[in-house]
């Protein structure tokens, strides 16, 4: 279990500058919708979870530092220089986060020197990417109309000492890193290098993962837009297979280690008959296996739709030995294997089959954020700016228990968040699809 000590956020020093937002929070105290800066956000939200801690004193219970404006700042807004970088794969909302950071700095803190580093961490190493750009309110005004990121992105690590040297050369006081777990590991290394050199550089992350697999941050921005787009593909698959004889649709969605997109997209419209995710093992063969169950479902209802997270079923095919630029194992083509097995099984049992395959893949991550995600991006970005200006570093902004909070990077990169087979989300999926509880 996570301890209170592990949840302590690093600071660069005493906050001595008056915040221009001090009046916003001066009279506020903790209530159902706001957490005062002197309060804490509990990591446990049930009595039994608290009891499992063994009756430790309240001031030792694991908790997060709350997000939000501070009365005092570490950085002088008049002299502060800021850098922003986006790393890793695309995700809906990247431009929304960039825009909100720039607007918060300009309009509320009076910070006007903001640099956008191009193409991920490569842009922080001189000569490896196009020159950085200056970010202003006019530049970011309409960037949320498009998906992707105006700063570009890349995968793979770069020399951390060179990155810090460049930050020093450019006199950057704050670096905002928008990226996934690999990018956050890079941010942690940059923060560590700066601290080891006694450099007052704040490194604050806004975590991004379309798979929603980063722990302790609540929901990742862009996730809602992604599963909504995936749900459209599932609905299209349902229309296709219902119009065919023996129609079976296979819809592959992102989720190499976590099946959140598959689960939420399936729940969005009740069009899925089976949801296959990495966290729940299944077999193809046997009386309780997927193939026999699928044939039965098609016989009973005339068609069926399978939603497949890309990382599901990897144990049923030969393991891949290749890795991508980020060091992740390249997944095997289980979707192709599954389609071949379905076709063979229906043929062996002399059953008619019309098999359709849908792969929305990169489409769901390249679209602009929907309104709900845009709001979430804005609030995460604002909280990130507040934390950085107050001298917090080596941390990310999250929303655990629906409260904005500061979370140390070292904690969020330890593990991944997964769909719990014993949790209520998977139970809802089983209820919605009516797929068997056990297909092993």
What 3 state SS string does 195-249 have? HHCCCCCEEEEEECCCCCCCCCCCCCCCHHHHHHHHHHHHHHHHHHHHCCCCEEE
pLDDT at 255: 92
395 is in an annotated binding site: no
Mean pLDDT of the chain: 93
What's the pLDDT band for 325 if we cut at 50, 70, 90?
low
Residue 254 annotated as part of some ligand binding site: yes
Q: Are 346 and 314 in contact (CB under 8 A)?
A: no
Decide if 438 is catalytic: no
pLDDT at 326: 60
Reported in sequence order, the residue ranges of 243-360 that DSSP labels E, i.e. its strands, are 247-253, 274-276, 303-309, 354-358
Short-list 81, 140, 67, CA closest to 109? 81
Dist. CA 273–CA 306, nearest whole Å: 6
State yes or no: 181 annotated in a binding site.
Answer: yes
Q: Is the pLDDT of residue 322 over 90?
A: no
Cα dihedral value 267, 272, 276, 280, nearest 10: 50
DSSP track, 354-423? EEEEE--GGGGGSSPPPHHHHHHHHHHHHHHHHHHHTTEESEEEE-GGGS-EEEEHHHHTTS-----TTS
- The whole-number pLDDT of residue 51 equals 86
Confidence at 327, pLDDT banded by 50, 70, 90: low
103 within 8 A of 418, measured Cβ to Cβ: no
Q: Which of 163-167, 180-184, 354-358 has the weakest average pLDDT?
A: 180-184
Where do we find the tokens 């507040």?
A: 386
Q: What pLDDT does residue 54 have?
A: 84
For residue 127, the model assigns a pLDDT of: 82
Annotated binding residue at 339?
Answer: no
The burial of 196, by beta-carbon neighbours within 10 Å (0-12 exposed, 13-18 middle, 19 or more buried), is given as exposed
CA distance 296 to 353: 13
- Would the annotation count 67 as a binding residue? no
Q: What is the DSSP letter of 315?
A: G
Q: For the purposes of burial, counting CB atoms within 10 Å of the CB of 360, is it exposed (0-12), middle (13-18) or buried (19 or more)? A: buried
Structure confidence at residue 324 (pLDDT): 65
User: CA-CA distance, 400 to 44, in Å (whole number)?
Assistant: 10
In the block, tokens 């890079």 appear at 186
Task: Summarize pLDDT for 117-127 with one digit per residue, the tens.
Answer: 999 999 999 88
Higher pLDDT, 1 or 61: 61
**pLDDT (mean) for 279-306:** 95
**Three-state DSSP class for residue 329:** strand
Among residues 211, 271, 273, 345, which one is catalytic?
A: 211
- Whether the model pTM is above 0.75: yes
Q: What is the pLDDT of residues 230-242, one digit of tens each?
A: 999 999 999 999 9
């Amino acid at each position: 279990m996570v301890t209170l000590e592990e949840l302590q956020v690093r600071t660069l020093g005493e906050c001595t500058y008056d915040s221009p937002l001090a009046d916003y929070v001066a009279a506020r105290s903790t209530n159902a919708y706001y957490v005062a800066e002197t309060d804490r956000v509990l990591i446990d939200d049930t009595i039994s979870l608290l009891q499992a801690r063994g009756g430790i004193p309240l001031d030792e219970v694991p908790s997060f530092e709350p997000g939000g404006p501070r009365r005092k700042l570490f950085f002088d807004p008049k002299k502060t220089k800021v850098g922003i970088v986006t790393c890793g794969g695309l995700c809906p909302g990247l431009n929304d986060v960039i825009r909100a950071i720039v607007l918060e700095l300009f309009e509320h803190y009076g910070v006007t020197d903001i640099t956008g580093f191009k193409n991920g961490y490569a842009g922080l190493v001189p000569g490896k990417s196009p020159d950085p750009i200056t970010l202003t309110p006019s530049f970011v005004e309409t960037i949320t109309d498009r998906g992707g990121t105006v700063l570009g992105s890349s995968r793979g690590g770069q020399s951390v000492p060179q990155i810090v040297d460049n930050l020093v050369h450019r006199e950057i006081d704050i670096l905002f890193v928008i990226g996934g777990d690999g990018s956050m590991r890079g941010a942690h290394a940059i923060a560590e290098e700066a601290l080891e050199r006694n450099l007052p550089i704040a490194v604050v992350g806004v975590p991004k993962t379309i798979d929603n697999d980063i722990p302790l941050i609540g929901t990742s921005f862009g996730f809602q837009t992604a599963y909504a787009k995936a749900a459209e593909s599932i609905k299209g698959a349902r229309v296709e297979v219902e119009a065919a004889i023996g129609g079976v649709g296979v819809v592959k969605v992102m989720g190499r280690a976590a099946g959140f997109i598959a689960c939420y997209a399936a729940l969005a419209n009740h069009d899925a008959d089976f949801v296959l995710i990495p966290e729940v093992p299944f077999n193809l063969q046997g009386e309780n296996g997927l193939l026999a169950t699928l044939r039965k479902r098609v016989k009973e209802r005339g068609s069926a739709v399978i939603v497949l997270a890309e990382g599901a079923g990897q144990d049923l095919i030969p393991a891949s030995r290749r890795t991508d630029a980020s060091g992740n194992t390249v997944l095997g083509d289980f979707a192709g294997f599954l389609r071949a097995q379905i076709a063979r099984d229906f043929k062996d049992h002399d059953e008619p089959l019309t098999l359709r395959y849908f792969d929305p893949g990169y489409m769901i991550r390249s679209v602009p954020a929907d309104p709900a995600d845009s709001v979430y991006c804005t609030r995460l970005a604002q909280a990130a700016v507040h934390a950085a200006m107050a001298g917090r570093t080596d941390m990310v902004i999250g929303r655990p228990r629906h409260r904005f909070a500061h979370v140390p990077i070292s904690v969020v990169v330890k593990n991944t968040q997964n769909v719990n087979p014993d949790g209520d989300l998977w139970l809802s999926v089983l209820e919605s699809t009516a797929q068997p509880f056990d297909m092993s």
